[in-house]
Structure 1
Amino acid sequence: MPPEMRDPEERFWEKVNRNGPLPICRPELGSCWIWEGQLQRNGYGVFTIRTKSYRAHRFAYSLTAELVDGLQIDHLCRTRACVRASHLEQVTARMNTLRGTSVGAVNATRTHCPKGHTYAGDNLYVTPDGCRQCKACRRAACRVSACRPRNLTPPLLTMLELFTEDITRREVAERMGLSIGGVASTAGRLYRLLGVSSREDAVAVARQRGLLRSPGEGEARALRE
């Protein structure tokens, strides 16, 4: 009898090893039943009925319970090739993420942002795609963005950073790959955008507006001709 004419369930179990390893995270669940048929690159098994392919663990679960639209199958054993129904549970996408071990899963369990603000109440903003953001940090980022002149290009920002160091105009030119005249021209454009007339004032305004990554090392001195 051609394979496609045989009972799908019979064919399915022929590809399963019921003597798999105990899951390290949940040994009390018993041995995993490992799918020995086709595997996807991500480790999930694939079972084909005629011309349609199914995730092996979903097919196995469907033999014992009804699959609910919108829910995902979570491997309690954390073994993607396992098809033992008692190792599987239908959960929401959110719960599946929270139970995972990826960076996204770890971040989803955090209660505070990197700055220490809580992800709760009036300080919590949820993006359309479900990501959590800190409102306090969003407001701070908006203030910095509003203070940054639109034409403040990366070379100008680099020059600002160099201006915080105790170096000469020639050293600035060497660091930026410019001529002395090029430094003067670039500095003039920077001063106009910031509304200042000197190197010291440019650094002071930039720090005030949060345009510099760090306060710099040493006191600035006037550029030498």
Structure 2
Amino acid sequence: MSISLDYATSLGAWQDKEGSLHWPKSGIMVISTADRSRDAYTPGSPTSKGGLPMLNQSTISPQFGDPRLPERFWAKVRVLENGCWGWMAGRTGGYGSFRVGSLRDGTRRMEPAHRWAYEHLIGSIPDGLEPDHLCRNRTCVNPTHIEPVTRRTNLLRGVGLTARNAAKTHCPAGHPYDEENTRLSARNQRHCRECTRERQRV
């Protein structure tokens, strides 16, 4: 199945510099009149049939506009050139926030948008793990850019104080943080044995 650029843009698609079509809207169904089976298609990546993926067709990775998420979710997302799905609505601590649940049954709450998208498009995040943005973009809700990891791994991959301290190879006095010269405290903090000995000599 192929459609004209004019028809695609009338449905909300746009074309990048390389000529590829991108689909910012969900819920648009294009029916191929030449196809006897009249499969329903949703905008996305081309299939082996030369058309667009069917709604009931399983894909290797989630596609932008996936119908498993509500249209009001996709209305808050824009595809960026680097493949991130940028969250354009409210944020908490730099991360997108998405309202879910109902006032009627008391389940209304705000959820981190990236976590909510991951759990609905990929699967649940195991207990003890948290979502880490591999793209280093807090506003990204693309689940293929997210990996469930431990809190420690998430901190060490970042650029915060924990990661900066972990990257240090020597103490402030210049002694190496190697196996022989390093003592770990009960809180898993590194201490230089040589500096400790020097303080005890005074």
**Corresponding residue for 1:48?**
99
Compare 72-81 and 118-127 and name the one that shifted more.
118-127
Aligned runs of 1:156-171 on 2, under 5 Å?
A: none
**Corresponding residue for 1:166?**
none
Map Cα deviations across residues 72-119 of structure 1 (whole Å, 9 max, x no partner): 211111110000011111112222122112233122122221223232
Matched, 1:20 2:77: no
Aligned runs of 1:25-174 on 2, under 5 Å?
A: 31-40=83-92, 42-50=93-101, 51-63=108-120, 64-141=122-199, 143=200
Q: Measure, in 2, the Cα distance between the counterparts of 1:100 and 1:16.
A: 24
Give the fraction of aligned pairs with identical amino acids, expressed as a percent. 41
Question: SS of 1:82's equivalent?
Answer: coil
In structure 2, what residue type is equivalent to 1:9?
L
Check the 8 A contact 1:8/1:49 in 2, yes or no.
no
In the comparison of the two structures, how many residue pairs are matched? 128
**What's the offset of the Cα at 1:8?**
8.9
**Corresponding residue for 2:10?**
none
**Corresponding residue for 1:9?**
69
Decide whether aligned partners of structure 1 residues 73 and 81 sit closer, same or farther in structure 2, where only a CA change above 3 A counts. same
Q: Measure, in 1, the Cα distance between the counterparts of 2:190 and 2:117.
A: 35
Q: Measure, in 2, the Cα distance between the counterparts of 1:39 and 1:95.
A: 24
**What's the offset of the Cα at 1:133?**
1.9
Q: Measure, in 2, the Cα distance between the counterparts of 1:81 and 1:128.
A: 35
Q: Measure, in 2, the Cα distance between the counterparts of 1:52 and 1:128.
A: 37
Q: Measure, in 2, the Cα distance between the counterparts of 1:65 and 1:16.
A: 20
Question: SS of 1:53's equivalent?
Answer: strand
Identify unmatched segments of 5+ residues in structure 2: 1-66, 102-107
Check the 8 A contact 1:16/1:35 in 2, yes or no.
yes
TM-score by length of 1: 0.51
In structure 1, what residue type is equivalent to 2:95?
Y
In structure 1, what residue type is equivalent to 2:179?
G
Give structure 1 regions of 4+ aligned residues with deviation exceeding 6 angstroms. Answer: none
Aligned runs of 1:208-223 on 2, under 5 Å?
A: 209=202
Q: Measure, in 2, the Cα distance between the counterparts of 1:77 and 1:35.
A: 14
In structure 2, what residue type is equivalent to 1:134?
C
TM-score by length of 2: 0.56
Decide whether aligned partners of structure 1 residues 120 and 21 sit closer, same or farther in structure 2, where only a CA change above 3 A counts. same
> As a proportion of its length, which structure holds more strand?
2
Q: Measure, in 2, the Cα distance between the counterparts of 1:132 and 1:72.
A: 25
* Larger Rg, first or second structure (1 or 2): 1
Check the 8 A contact 1:72/1:93 in 2, yes or no.
yes
Map Cα deviations across residues 156-214 of structure 1 (whole Å, 9 max, x no partner): xxxxxxxxxxxxxxxxxxxxxxxxxxxxxxxxxxxxxxxxxxxxxxxxxxxxx4xxxxx
